[in-house]
Amino acid sequence: MKRNTFEEFEIPYSTLEKFGLTHEMVEDLPMFVLDNISNGKPTPVLPIRIKDDDGNTIESKARFALLRGENGNVDVVFYPVLKYAPLEQFDANQQELLKDGKSVMADVTSPSGEIIKAFVQIDTETNQVMAVPTAVIGRNMQVLSDELNLSSGEMKILQNGDALSFVSGEEMVTVGVDLRNKTGLRFAEGDAQKWQDQGKRDWDKFTFGCYGCWVMDDDGNLGYVSEDDYTDELWSEQKKSAERNAAVHQRK
């Protein structure tokens, strides 16, 4: 059986470096991202840099995830940012729903070439089309239905790709299909709008590591600055960050 978790020493840094992601850059990613990597989940969209056959440097953006082959070796798979989501295989109604951020059930071709029924959704940050067999998500939905005593109508809401809001205790909670999540379902406190807003995990503008800093610009794009290239602003922000962390530890 192939393991779906990865140890730090298994990360193929030499491969990542060919795409402009150095060992230091990866180690400086936030802990939640490193946890995702170790569990085989895709990273946030990161800047990558490759050379073409003529030696020209091409800059782009992509997620990456680790993959264990049949022989046990670990490799990297990239999910590049696409200009448009490839939706030609879906009908007009399905395309509109997918573009609206919803999931749909559709026939897709599996890696083995079989036509299977799957939940399909667009990764809005990369325009990649994600698909998970309905049997997998359907089982998780059934467990959820049994725990919450959902009606057939409420189950239909989830199956149709809409988020379902309900009251748990005195709080409103919303659940919906999110194929980026490990179970294919994601919960959020609040209504459907809160659920949608929380689908994008915001980074701090500055995320300092041991060797440098990941910086998020006003458009949400991430870039990495080595400590050797810190500006006065970054040195100032690093000092503030250290002071905040020290204050938190003192309160504990």
Residues in the chain, pLDDT under 70: 1-3, 199-202, 247-252
pLDDT value at position 49? 93
Tens of pLDDT, residue by residue over 191-235, are 888 888 776 656 788 999 999 999 998 878 899 999 999 999 999
Q: How far is CA 5 from CA 38, 136, 157, in A?
A: 5, 19, 33
The whole-angstrom separation of Cα 127 and Cα 79 is 9
User: Which residue has tokens 């059934």?
Assistant: 142
pLDDT value at position 202? 60
Q: How far is CA 134 from CA 130, 140, 233, in A?
A: 12, 10, 49
pLDDT value at position 200? 62
Intra-chain end-to-end CA distance of the chain, in Å: 43
User: Which residue has tokens 């006003």?
Assistant: 218
3-state secondary structure of 168: strand
pLDDT value at position 1? 41
Count of C-beta atoms within a 10 Å radius of residue 69: 9
pLDDT value at position 3? 55
Positive or negative: CA dihedral 46, 35, 138, 170: negative
